[in-house]
Amino acid sequence: MFTIRKATPADADTIVKIAHQTWWPTYSQILSAEQISYMLSVNYLSDKIANQIATQSQVYLILEEDGQPVAFASYSVREEDAEVYKLQKLYCHPSTQGKGYGKALIDYVVDVVQQAGKKTLELNVNRDNNAKTFYEKMGFEVAYEEDIPIGPYWMNDYVMRKRL
């Protein structure tokens, strides 16, 4: 049994915890330990997440399994194009992968986008991340490749889009 709810600033520590538990097994085969540590230290600070939630620059969702937070997602309107929503983050604790929680979070965001009258949901995924296959099964297609500098590192991504 699971539920999805909007996160509050008080959930920031929980989001950071899930990110740390998820990033290492997800990215250790494709990124260096130094890059993973750096990106977690830049992107997953409790104060930063709490501020994003409080200012609504990103809407965070928490998925709870039997009352325990095990996954999260965040989304926003794409800064460059208000007609496109961007799935900013989607992480499920490794012990819950394969239970349909990622799909449930995407379905939730798709509903939000459709209710807003928009037709496109976009995300970035590392070009070497096996999650690309999952996103393709969810109806996303590669739109283009993008290399984004993050401090001394690069995110080498596919930008994928789903038409709604």
pLDDT in tens, 3-22: 999 999 999 999 999 999 99
pLDDT tens digits along 70-100: 999 999 998 888 889 999 999 999 999 899 9
d(CA 50, CA 17): 13
pLDDT tens across 40-69, in order? Answer: 999 999 999 999 999 999 999 999 999 999
Question: What does the domain layout of the chain look like in residue ranges?
Answer: 2-163
Local confidence band at 34 (pLDDT 50, 70, 90 cut-offs): very high
Q: How far is the CA of 156 from the CAs of 89, 140, 161, in angstroms?
A: 16, 18, 16
- pLDDT per residue over 125-151, tens digit each? 999 999 999 999 999 999 999 999 999
Q: Going edge to edge, which strands form the sheet with 141-150?
A: 2-6, 59-65, 68-77, 84-92, 120-126, 153-163, 141-150
Q: Does domain 2-163 have CATH number 3.40.630.30?
A: yes
Residues paired with residue 157 on neighbouring β-strands, in sequence order: 126, 146
**What pLDDT shows up at residue 44?**
97
Q: How many CB atoms lie within 10 A of CB 55?
A: 9
Q: What is the DSSP string of 151-163?
A: TTEEEEEEEEEEE
Report how far residue 117's alpha carbon sits from residue 106's, in angstroms, rounded to the nearest whole number: 17
What residue type is 64 in one-letter code?
A: E
Q: Which two tokens stand for residue 29?
A: 């085969």
- Torsion sign over Cα 22, 26, 32, 35: negative
pLDDT at position 78, please?
87
What integer pLDDT is reported at residue 89 of this predicted model?
Answer: 98
CB 106 within 8 A of CB 92: no
The predicted structure's pLDDT at residue 33: 97
Q: What is the mean pLDDT of the chain?
A: 96
